[in-house]
Amino acid sequence: MRYAILLLVLVILTGIFGPQTLFVVDETQLAIVTRFGDPVRDSISNPGLYVKTPFVDRVTYFDKRRTLFDAPPDALLTEDKKRLIIDAYAIAMITDPLLFFKTVRTPEGAATRGTDIINSDLRKEIANDLQAEIIRTRRGAIMESVRDTVAPKLDEFGVSTVDVRIKRADFPDEIADSIYERMRAERKRKADAERAEGAKQDLELRASVDRRATIILAEAERYANVTRGEGEAQAIAILASALDQDPEFYAFQRSLDAYKIAFAENTTMVLPASSSLLQFLQSPHGLDNGTDTPATPESTSGLARMEAMAREFLSSRLELDGAEPILTRAEVVVWEDPSLGCPDPDGVYAEVIVPGYSLLFELDGTSYEVHSNSDGTQMIDCTS
């Protein structure tokens, strides 16, 4: 009966005084117990149920997890006397809640003191570096240096520094436009250099291709000229062979060539009655030999032979190189004296009948007349 009464009393006292006597610390918290504002025991870092003096002791809790100390952006001066807007922060955690309580009292006080320390050390470090280095290469080294410098100072507050980071490092607004303009100009310069290099390579490639194309064309032209020359040589050989086989047909074919050149579309020609062309059109069997009878095969063959001899004579006399005169008229005639129809004003000739030929050639708009005897041993240029 006595134990039951004691248990009942204990339960009543626990219900009345329990909230003032017992407190709980969970795994995310640190705690200290103070009496009239002064700590009365060591800090509590392990989770569990603890006892304090009711109505006298007070429990203060702190967050055991990492805390962000975010410093406001500030304009800092670099070693080369240029300003940068630096926005940095630190990550820390409370490791000694009793020391933390004695020095800064509250997390708000710790944030104020911590950001002041971070800004001060960051300002000193930035002042030792050039602007370009901070932006391009030195940011990591700066953060490590500031972290190593800040850590001992925050340890004095019972706070362990985990890391220090720079969120951004920007140019001040008043110079940002000029900086960006210089950056654009630099990028344009590099782009222009790349385009110029590309244009240079393009010209080199085009020049190389043009040179190769020129060589190929020259080789092709040389081969074509050689082939053309060989063809012409074969054609001349075939033509000479054909001339030996049938001189009459050769004369007929050459006359057709001459007529093809002489006659154009809708051409009207006025010819004298003695014209060999008219005689040929009237009597296609051969040229008139001055009588009413057709020219004999012998006269036609003689004309063909004489045309070749006269052409060679005229080419040699005019020193022609490649150009060939065109026969426009060929006649069998009888000369009254050895002058062959082209007498020398100072000469004296015997009245001797000389059978022969009269041939008219055309070259570059100029007419050339050649007279000869019947066997071609005497040949005269009678061009007036």
Distance between CA atoms of 154 and 95, rounded to whole angstroms? Answer: 11
pLDDT of residue 73: 81
- CATH of 70-170, picked from 3.30.465.10, 3.90.1640.30, 3.30.479.30, 3.30.70.260, is 3.30.479.30
Contact between 21 and 52 (Cβ < 8 Å): yes
Q: State mean pLDDT over 259-280.
A: 62
pLDDT of residue 75: 78
pLDDT of residue 198: 93
User: Nearest to residue 362, comparing CAs of 277, 235, 242, 265?
Assistant: 277
Instruction: Say whether pLDDT at 248 is over 90.
Output: no
pLDDT of residue 27: 87
pLDDT of residue 196: 93
Q: State mean pLDDT over 101-109.
A: 85
Least confident window among 53-67, 76-90, 332-346: 76-90
**CB-based contacts of 32, cutoff 8 Å, min separation 6:** 39, 41, 43, 44, 59, 60, 62, 97, 98, 101
Instruction: Say whether pLDDT at 252 is over 90.
Output: no
Instruction: Say whether pLDDT at 271 is over 80.
Output: no
Instruction: Say whether pLDDT at 300 is over 60.
Output: no
Q: What angle do CA 278, 313, 309 make, to 5 degrees?
A: 60
Count Cβ atoms below 10 Å from residue 268 Cβ, excluding itself.
5
Amino acid, single-letter form, for residue 284: P
pLDDT band at 212 (very low <50, low <70, confident <90, very high): very high
- 159-185, pLDDT tens digit by residue? 888 888 887 777 776 666 777 788 899
Query: What percentage of the chain exceeds 70 in pLDDT?
Result: 79
Count Cβ atoms below 10 Å from residue 121 Cβ, excluding itself.
19
Cα four-point dihedral sign 194, 196, 199, 205: negative
pLDDT of residue 261: 67
Q: State mean pLDDT over 46-67.
A: 86
Give the domain ranges of the chain. Answer: 2-63, 70-170, 246-381
The DSSP result for 171-211, as a single string, is --HHHHHHHHHHHHHHHHHHHHHHHHHHHHHHHHHHHHHHH
**CB-based contacts of 370, cutoff 8 Å, min separation 6:** 310, 313, 314, 358, 359, 360, 361, 379, 380, 381, 382
pLDDT band at 138 (very low <50, low <70, confident <90, very high): confident
Q: State mean pLDDT over 216-242.
A: 86
pLDDT of residue 223: 92
pLDDT of residue 13: 47
Distance between CA atoms of 221 and 131, rounded to whole angstroms? Answer: 67
User: Nearest to residue 352, comparing CAs of 338, 368, 369, 331?
Assistant: 338
Instruction: Say whether pLDDT at 301 is over 70.
Output: no
pLDDT of residue 283: 53
Instruction: Say whether pLDDT at 350 is over 90.
Output: no
- 3-24, pLDDT tens digit by residue? 566 555 544 545 555 567 888 9
138, HSE (Cβ side, Cα atoms, 13 Å)? 18
pLDDT band at 266 (very low <50, low <70, confident <90, very high): low
Contact between 64 and 150 (Cβ < 8 Å): no
pLDDT of residue 6: 58
Query: What percentage of the chain exceeds 90 in pLDDT?
Result: 12
> Which of 2-16, 54-68, 159-173, 259-273 is predicted most confidently?
54-68
Q: State mean pLDDT over 227-254.
A: 77
pLDDT of residue 293: 40
β pairing state of 379-381 and 29-35: unpaired
* DSSP category for residue 256: H
Q: State mean pLDDT over 109-125.
A: 85
Mean of pLDDT over the chain: 79
Least confident window among 251-255, 271-275, 326-330: 271-275
Instruction: Say whether pLDDT at 31 is over 80.
Output: yes
